[in-house]
Amino acid sequence: MNRLNSEIKYLKGVGEFKAKLLAKLDIYTMADLLDFFPRTYINRKVNIPISQFNVGDNVSFTGKITSINNNNSFSGKKQLIVQISDKSGFINCKWFRFGKWLVDELQVGQNIWVGGTINEFAGRFEIIHPQIELLDKEKQDKFWEKRSILPVYNLTASLTTQGMRKLILNLFRDYHQDIEETLPEFILKKKGFEPRYIALQRIHFPTDLEKVEESKKRFVFEELFYQQLMLSRVYYSNKVIQKGHKFQLYKTFTSQLKKELPFEMTNAQKKVLKEIIKDMTKAEQMRRLIQGDVGSGKTIVVLFAMLIAVENGFQAAIVAPTEILAEQHLKSISSFLKNQTSIKVELIKGGNYKGKKKVKERIATGEINIIIGTHALFQKDIFFKKLGLVVIDEQHRFGVKQRSVLSKKNNYPDLLYLSATPIPRSLSMTVFGDLDISRIDELPPSRKPVTTIWKGSSKKNLVYEEIRAELKKGRQVYVVCPLVEESEKLDLLDATSIYNKLKDEVFREFRCALLHGRMKPAEKDEIMLDFKNHKYDILVSTTVIEVGIDVANATIMMIEHAERFGLSQLHQLRGRVGRGSEASFCYLISYPPISKEGRERLSMMNRTNDGFLIAEKDLELRGPGEFFGTIQSGMPSYRHANILRDQDVLEEARELAIEIIKEDYDLKLEKHKSLHNNYFPRYFEREKLFKF
């Protein structure tokens, strides 16, 4: 075993206690520390004189502390003001939040490095909460004392930059022989990368800051490449090594469905169905994700796939995250199949109820061909006679483990995942890199685009009148309220008070209901169902309204505090109206102050109804982590790569990875030796999470 894989506590200068602190930075092994790159660098050679600073400049400079003031400000708040001077002038650094340790450490006369942004206050320049580092010799290791470029790290409590520098130095001194090349020669050549050892040295102990950026590229590539290597292996083993069902196209049931279809399928639907058929008629297991906006018509595409399985003597199952969505599927599927009485469709729900045992028996005997269910389908006591296809609706609502249950137990049926959340391609390639992806990127022509209108809160009364006019025509309305500061309790209050106001003042003549996340699932389902059946005219809710819910008569949505929602979320909410043949409206009500980004979001909503465009923009505005956090868990985190910035690298890494795995699945070839040595210790366990 490579010694770099041993625990970090064994490194000189670490020990049990420091190891715990390092763990907070995701550093567990020697290799992890090697991979922990400086956030920035102090360049002692470059020094812009203080007199040349301008407001808004991002500066880093060295100077001397000439005064320290730790008194309360006029308003009685604690503040720390440290004056730093060089030959050309002085500038104040200010802290409003600071620990005692900072006050203890700073002394007049010390040399200090400062990094931050220049602000102006009362006619003077200052830097609020700067990055600092004391540069005095006794604090520095001998090694660093002589160097002009010093690394600066992102650290957590109790770890100091100087301490970190020492550890990295110890690591290189004691373990440099263990640093191995992780990319094959032909990739280094092709990409013009430096050998790993040299690149690491340039990053940790730079002499030339321009070279650092060059050297970092290698690690961005490497990180994405190894991940793609893993996804490619998973894909390949699931698809090719693992045998799946090879279905025939008998066209007994499918052709009748086609004949009886009350509409023409869109080109996007036809294209995706073709992709599915291609998968299903191969002896490989289909593992395909279908992305398509709410209302793009995923159900009918999936129904064709299910009928192919049924024609071949297999059963097909569709799993929905809630009973109400399962019921909706039952209703629409039954109506599409109303003349094909030989196909038996049945719903199975959670809990105990009359008739459930009988349904389970009929699933086991194979009498039921299409089974629609909730989580109940994952239970141990459900046995299928011969399951050929599983469809998972709203796939992000289920865990990987749950999804895999049906697969293993039933001899690897074909799998289709559905998602109403359009995701930019670069994200799909990483998060769903082990799946094939289809996109239904077109709405049926019968669907009128939702007219989106953004209004300031002062115009709310006008919006109320628009709503009243629609209500008088017999239509229904959604009023959506935001989460207030992520707090369930405030959120509840907010929705409740709006509900009370609408019910008691604004719309007294109409029937209002309230829906929020604190309610029990059964209670929520009941309210949703009652709304669907038009027992209410107005539904006031938080964001918990089901994405897939289909209430054709609801033609207006009003979103309160629209400036607080993410772009993808606004778009998803909007998708709940415009499902019938009537024109629909979405009012975005914003309250000041609105940030620049908030404005961009709202105007984007005004501009387009295209979910994929909106997703790209959302990703751009928020960055991958946050974008993903709100729609799906399990976004991989990267040390070096940023999939927004590095999309091209990602594409290239993926292509190369697929090529390599196709040629040499086990990485046995001599030219792949470095890949083999590095891949299996680090990724083999992770692979298993994806295989089912």
Which residues would be at the binding site for ligand ADP (CB under 6 A)? 263, 265-266, 269, 292, 294-300, 420, 444, 446, 548, 550
Residue nearest to ligand ADP (CB): 297
SS3 510: coil
DSSP for 611-661, written as a single string: HHHHHHHHHHHH-HHHHHHTT-S-PPP-SS--TTTTHHHHHHHHHHHHHHH
Q: State in angstroms the smallest separation of the CB of 418 from ligand ADP.
A: 7
| 548 binds Mg ion, rule: CB under 5 A | yes
Could you tell me the smallest distance in angstroms from the CB atom of residue 394 to ligand ADP? 9
DSSP characters over 77-123: -B-EEEEEEETTEEEEEEESS--HHHHHH--TT-EEEEEEEEEEETT
- Least distance in angstroms from the C-beta of 395 to ligand ADP: 13
Size of the chain in residues: 692
Is the Cβ of residue 492 or residue 631 nearer to Mg ion in the bound state? 631
Which is nearer to Mg ion, 335 or 595 (by Cβ)?
Answer: 335
Q: Which of ligand ADP, Mg ion, none does residue 297 bind to, with CB < 5 to 8 Å depending on kind?
A: ligand ADP
Q: How far is the CB of 304 from ligand ADP (least distance, A)?
A: 11
- The residue among 444 and 598 lying less far from ligand ADP, judged by its C-beta, is 444
Which tokens go with 245? 């069902």
Q: How far is the CB of 494 from ligand ADP (least distance, A)?
A: 28
Measured from the CB atom, the residue of 31 and 294 that comes closer to ligand ADP is 294
Smallest separation (angstroms) from ligand ADP to the CB of 299: 3
| 159 residue type, one letter | L
CA pseudo-torsion sign 116, 120, 126, 130: negative
The distance from CA 411 to its chain's CA centroid, rounded to whole angstroms, is 31
* Shortest CB 244 distance to Mg ion, Å: 25
Give the nearer residue to ligand ADP in terms of CB position, either 294 or 513: 294
Q: Which H/E stretch holds residue 505?
A: none
Q: Residue 294 or 370: which CB sits closer to ligand ADP?
A: 294
Residue closer to ligand ADP, measured from CB, 269 or 430: 269
Q: Which does 586 bind (CB under 5 to 8 A by kind): Mg ion, ligand ADP, none?
A: none
CB of 359 to Mg ion, least distance (A): 23
Q: 123: Cβ–Cβ under 8 A, 6 or more apart, which residues?
A: none
Burial class (CB in 10 A: 0-12, 13-18, 19+), 79: middle
Strand pairing report for 80-86 and 58-69 = antiparallel
Cα–Cα distance, 466 to 585 (Å, whole number): 10
Q: Which is nearer to ligand ADP, 238 or 269 (CB)?
A: 269
Give the interface segment with Mg ion, choosing from 193-201, 439-447, 506-514, 540-548 (CB under 5 A): 540-548
Q: Rounded distance, CA 101 to CA 99, Å?
A: 5
292 binds Mg ion (CB under 5 A): no
Nearer Cβ to Mg ion (63/548): 548
Point out which span in 45-53, 125-133, 541-549, 564-572 binds Mg ion (CB under 5 A).
541-549
Six token digits for residue 391: 């469809």
Integer CA distances (angstroms), 447 to 301, 398, 441, 552, 609, in order = 17, 29, 14, 11, 12
Find, among 177, 270, 219, 181, the residue nearest to 38 by Cα. Answer: 219
Residue 263 binds: one of Mg ion, ligand ADP, none (C-beta under 5 to 8 A by kind): ligand ADP
Q: CB of 482: closest distance to ligand ADP in angstroms?
A: 24
Binding partner of residue 321 among Mg ion, ligand ADP, none, CB under 5 to 8 Å per kind? Answer: none
Give the single-character DSSP code of 194.
P
Binding interface with Mg ion (CB under 5 A): 548
